[in-house]
Chain A
Amino acid sequence: MTSRAPNKTLHDRRLALHPQVALRPEPFGALAYHYGNRKLIFLKHPDVVRVVRSLDDHDTVSDTLHACDIDPLRWPAFDAALTSLIESEMLHERHQDPSG
């Protein structure tokens, strides 16, 4: 059996905020708190907050970054922020759309 998902790059992934995560706006960006695993993460730029909040409205991470008008030069910083949110289970894979 060939594997599919693990080969996906971050930009192809379909992510969403975990339902147990709350975002609190702060001057530097936002605080994210996971009520399940009690982790606290700093989102250190308002643009990161904007991207995280709109992940659900777009098909993939890459679509979201485009839609939020993030300069591709800044993408590596966003990759790092999103990766740390995935590792702390703040972001998770959205279920596949059955029709897709």
Chain B
Amino acid sequence: MPTLIDRSRLREMLKAGAQLVEVLPRREYDEEHLPGAISIPLRELNRAAASQLDKTRPVIVYCYDYQ
């Protein structure tokens, strides 16, 4: 079951090597994204897109706010 995290936990996990994924449309990612995040828009999130992620490491997803 996915786990909700806050900013503090996010920063800890990033330091520890977690992967970060922005799921907003690509244009919004291009304008502004968290350092180190990759872009996989929710509409494009399928098996092929997810193959660029490492299943052995934690994955953190985010969008704009509480959407």
> A and B from one assembly?
no
Question: Which residues of B pack against A, CB within 8 Å?
Answer: none
Q: Which residues of A contact B (CB under 8 A)?
A: none
